[in-house]
Amino acid sequence: MNEPAPVAPAPLTHDAFSALALTALDDVYRFARSLTRDASDAEDVVQETYLRAFRSWTTFQPGTDVRRWLFTIARNAFLRSRERGQREVILDDEGAAAADAEQAQEAWVRGGLDPILDRTDLGPAIVAALAELPEVYRSAVVLVDLEDQPYEAAAEVLGIPVGTVRSRLFRGRKLLQQRLAQHARDAGIIPDRAAGSPV
Amino acid sequence: MSTMPEPHRALDCDGAFARLFDFLDKELDAATESALLAHVQHCRSCFDQAEFERRFKAAVAESRSAQRCPDALRQRVIALLGPQREAT
């Protein structure tokens, strides 16, 4: 039996592209918040992202992931907005944060978080804890864990090798667990007595 | 190129942990995934670790709903469409 020949996706109209791009607005906003850690700056990045996307929509390949395309534009827009020095400061955080993550008090963190992970009201605490991570870790965790992007897509968006995505994810998740445990303890969700004290 | 070790028929605890996050992120090949599952099914400590990390990842994914694009920004983005449509 003959296999049908592959059919190239039909070209998009401007209206069809616009509708597709707007379905990703929440995702692009979340990613922009993760990059900027500031609501106002995130709104600027989102507007710049969509302005660029609507201007160059004919370069988008129909049938590919529009979120991946928009995340890449958002990341570039963010970097351009931070060209004067800020990027170096953010990247400098990596060493300190990595050391911090490596010293994670695993037993304390896991023991404290384990009973609360199924709570339905944990979202705001996770968002707050994510905001405290250095950008290099935050971006990787947001792309893979919130936006469900594969490593290869996250690597393309962030302009780093897949192996670096993997290591940033590992450290970022451990750091996030620490921060979340701290938030939960401060909010009284995890009793100090039950979780024990960090070393 | 992946920095992960080559898959083995059987994994010890260190090998399983080294591949745990790739497994949870659906980045493992079938043979390595089978080896990891075989180890986790017989190792209580690794099972507990895997289950904790799986639940943590699910909780982080669930936090998506706590952060949505504000309506005012949505309207400003939609307004960008007008001039672009006229220009094309």
Burial of B80 from C-beta contacts in 10 A (0-12 / 13-18 / 19+): middle
- What average pLDDT does this structure show over B53-57? 96
Spatial neighbors of A28 by CB under 8 A, at least 6 apart, are A46, A49, A50, A67, A70, A71, A74, B69
Does residue B5 lie within any of the structural domains?
no
Of B26, B61, B77, the CB nearest to A145: B61
Instruction: Annotate A181-196 with b (16+ C-beta within 10 A) or e (fewer).
Output: bbbbbeeebbeeeebe
A86-195 CATH pick, 1.10.10.10, 3.40.50.300, 3.40.50.150, 2.60.40.420: 1.10.10.10
Does residue B3 lie within any of the structural domains?
no
Interface contact flag, A126 B66, Cβ < 8 Å: yes
The C-alpha atoms of residue A43 and residue A28 are separated, in whole angstroms, by 10
Q: What is the pLDDT of residue A81?
A: 84
For the stretch B10-41, pLDDT in tens is 889 999 999 999 999 999 999 999 999 999 99
Interface contact flag, A110 B78, Cβ < 8 Å: no
Write down the ipTM of this complex: 0.80
Domain boundaries, chain A: 14-81, 86-195
> Mean pLDDT for each 10-residue chunk of chain A (199 residues)?
63 84 95 90 94 88 90 93 57 50 66 84 88 92 95 96 96 93 79 50
Structural domain count of chain B: 1
3-class DSSP assignment, residue B5: coil
Structure tokens at A90: 């953010």
Interface contact flag, A162 B2, Cβ < 8 Å: yes
C-beta atoms surrounding A4 within 10 Å: 6
Interface contact flag, B59 A126, Cβ < 8 Å: yes
Domain hosting B71: range is 13-87
Interface residue B55 vs chain A (CB under 8 A): yes
Which candidate, A125, A96, A101, A41, places its Cα nearest to that of B59?
A: A125
Does residue B6 lie within any of the structural domains?
no
A144: nearest CA partner in chain B: B25
Interface residue B29 vs chain A (CB under 8 A): no
Class of domain A14-81: mainly alpha
